[in-house]
Amino acid sequence: MTASIDASVPDDLARTVEAHGIAVAAADNATVLADFLPDRIGQLIGSVDVPEQLERAEVQSISDVGDGFFDAIIRYTKPDQTWFELRSRWVRFEDGTWRVFSVRNIPDTPPWMRPTGPSPDGLDAPHWEGLRAGELRLQRCASCATWIWSPRPICPSCHSFETRWQAVEPVGTIYSWTRTWQPFAPEASGHLPYVVVLVELPAAAGRRVLGVLAHADGITPRIGDHVRGVIDQPPSDEHWPLFRWHLEDAHT
């Protein structure tokens, strides 16, 4: 297969990407690390999931994504002839060399993580059961109708112990966000970085709910962006559903 390379891609970058793929396949760690931006080495190491043994590497494409960045997709073949692909983003370093700015496995298949699910005290169990039923459920006071999040044993407004759980339309706007580079669970390896958003829900009087933004690779969210929540049901009862936010109007 002939690699698809944009006409604007510098020749020295194409050569560097090819050599980088060969180094990864050969487990030449010194060369691989030398290709990383110096201040991002720790983040980049935790960003991908790569098998110990690889047979070969083939550059699939190099694309100009603007602002001096270029995305390279490299396919790696394992000894059993199965393959996987990594997307690396490259930028010209201050010394004139090309360095890896970010890298991740593709396709971006978000993992199910064991820490999810109801808390030990069970206070938020109705929320998780709602996700299993395909609904975003939030707590609400039965006395004064105040929406409550995060879950509490009593209403913070009128101090009533009478609360219920109601389904809320999963649409809102981004109030705040952060991009996370740390693999807080082993399952996160290969899926870094990911974006966490704090979403304000109009249907729940502006209560704010945290969640992961789906398909955020290369995306920089903006405060006020409209998002819609989607519930991904797990492959088995071993895990709980995952609630992810999706931008209504995707942008870079």
Task: Give residue-wise pLDDT tens across range 113-128.
Answer: 666 789 999 999 999 9
3-state secondary structure of 204: helix
Structure confidence at residue 1 (pLDDT): 61
Domains of the chain listed by start with CATH number? 4-106 (3.10.450.50), 125-247 (2.40.50.840)
Task: Quote the pTM value.
Answer: 0.68
For residue 144 the two structure tokens come to 């004064």
Q: Quote the CA–CA distance of 76 and 60 in Å, as a whole number.
A: 10
**Distances, alpha carbon 24 to alpha carbons 38, 118, 150, 244, in Å:** 18, 40, 44, 32
b or e along 44-59 (b: 16 or more beta carbons within 10 Å of the residue's beta carbon)?
bbbbbbbeeebeebbb
Q: How confident is the model at residue 129 (pLDDT cuts 50, 70, 90)?
A: very high
Q: How many whole angstroms from its chain centre is CA 220?
A: 12
Please give the order of strands across the beta sheet that includes 56-66.
4-5, 56-66, 69-77, 83-92, 98-106
Q: pLDDT per residue over 48-82, tens digit each? A: 888 889 999 999 999 999 999 999 999 999 999 99
DSSP classification of residue 252: -
Residues 76, 59 contacting (CB under 8 angstroms): no
Give the tokens for residue 46: 């935790």
Q: In this predicted model, which residue has the larger pLDDT, 191 or 225?
A: 225
User: What confidence tens digit (pLDDT) does each residue in 154-192 have?
Assistant: 999 999 999 999 999 999 999 999 988 776 776 666 677
